[in-house]
């Protein structure tokens, strides 16, 4: 199988290296800048379990140089997705599958949810440009449960977790889900095939909805967020609101916010991906993690005052630092 990783950063490099090292696939990368140069010089590189995993890669800056693929894994940050979607057409043949491995609510999430209507979610796909570039029928859903970082371009450091949940956006299990699931399992991932992937997306989002932006605002690791009673109370309130929203769109969560934080506390003192982005001066994924929840709640006519406050504060924080676009006037 010909596999292309679009965005060879912390998650893309993690997935790409393991698939390439497993030896079944020709795994290329669409990259740029220092990451492109590092991939060309060193190949795929992943530090995991005290050893360096390496594998060869063909890395290019333009999709036309790689040609049609069988599986395209998109692992860019949310703010970059619209531009990427407009550039990957040369990778897409009649039977190419596209698997986004990204944080937050994906652009396809509202498809088939009667309560949300037919319009694309403007927070993650303004004007529906992504949906037109990557048609719904191509998409395989993916939820990543792993923590990785990039200490230098082209080198991924694995911290914890090997979980990938994959499934059809429209629900149910299919032959292509089983095919990709077997490929990922062979590459060493803890792969789960989900018949209701939207619910898995919402569950992960529910866990990240507060810790990501609050850590970005405060600069605190997750243990410190949970140790502050006022901050914790605010996070719990926002999670309860998101739980109510989820119930209305078929994504009920069978866990309390308090129980979810017990799991988070076991992970110890770690920096969320959004805090890492702040420290690196990268654009923040506010829209997919908080903005989409706010928009969905508005469409449903549900009041979410804590989520609204979180969105406003994080958005302003990021705008002041040039990490989020200014409001249109």
Residues with catalytic function: 204
Question: Got the DSSP string for 20-89?
Answer: HHHTSSEEEEE--HHHHHHHHHH-EEEEETTEEEEE--EEESSGGGT--EEEEEE---GGGHHHHHTT-G
Please provide residue 313's backbone torsions phi and psi, each rounded to the nearest 5 degrees.
-65, -45
Q: How far is 220 from 103, CA to CA, in rounded Å? A: 20
* DSSP conformation class of 229: H
Q: Tell whether the torsion through CA atoms of 157, 50, 18 and 260 is positive or negative.
A: negative
Q: Tell whether the torsion through CA atoms of 84, 180, 144 and 53 is positive or negative.
A: negative
Q: Are 272 and 329 in contact (CB under 8 A)?
A: no
In this structure, the number of other CB atoms found within 10 A of the CB of residue 67 comes to 13
Instruction: Please list, in sequence order, all residues whose beta carbon lies within 8 angstroms of the beta carbon of residue 10, skipping any fewer than 6 positions away.
Output: 148, 149, 150, 156, 273
Q: Are 74 and 43 in contact (CB under 8 A)?
A: no
Query: What's the burial of 106, exposed, middle or buried (CB within 10 Å: 0-12/13-18/19+)?
Result: buried
């Amino acid at each position: 199988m010909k596999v292309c990783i679009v965005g060879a950063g912390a998650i893309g490099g993690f997935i790409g290296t393991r698939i390439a090292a497993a030896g079944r696939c020709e795994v290329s990368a669409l990259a740029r800048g220092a990451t492109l140069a590092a991939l060309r010089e060193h190949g795929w590189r992943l530090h995991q379990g005290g050893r360096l995993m390496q594998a060869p890669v063909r890395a290019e800056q333009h999709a036309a140089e790689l040609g049609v693929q069988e599986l395209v894994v998109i692992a860019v940050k949310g703010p970059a997705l619209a531009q990427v979607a407009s550039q990957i057409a040369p990778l897409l043949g009649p039977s190419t599958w596209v698997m986004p491995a990204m944080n937050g609510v994906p652009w396809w999430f509202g498809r088939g949810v009667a309560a949300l209507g037919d319009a694309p979610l403007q927070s993650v796909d303004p004007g529906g440009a992504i949906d037109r570039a990557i048609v719904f029928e191509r998409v395989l859903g993916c939820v990543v449960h792993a923590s990785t970082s990039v200490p230098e371009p082209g080198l991924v450091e694995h911290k914890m977790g090997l979980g990938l949940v994959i499934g059809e956006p429209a629900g149910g299990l299919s032959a292509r889900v089983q095919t990709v699931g077997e490929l990922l399992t062979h590459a060493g991932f803890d792969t789960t095939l989900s018949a209701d992937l939207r619910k898995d997306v919402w569950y992960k989002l529910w866990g990240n909805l507060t810790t990501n932006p609050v850590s970005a605002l405060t600069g605190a690791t997750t243990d410190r967020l949970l140790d502050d009673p006022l901050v914790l109370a605010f996070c719990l309130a926002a999670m309860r609101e998101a739980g109510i929203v989820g119930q209305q769109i078929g994504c009920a969560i069978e866990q309390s916010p308090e129980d979810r934080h017990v799991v988070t506390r076991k992970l110890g003192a770690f920096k969320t991906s959004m805090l890492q982005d702040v420290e690196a001066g990268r654009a923040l994924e506010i829209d997919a993690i908080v903005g989409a929840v706010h928009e969905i709640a508005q469409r449903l006519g549900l009041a979410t005052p804590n989520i609204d406050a979180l969105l406003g504060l994080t958005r302003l924080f990021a705008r002041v630092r040039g990490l989020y676009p200014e409001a249109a006037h």
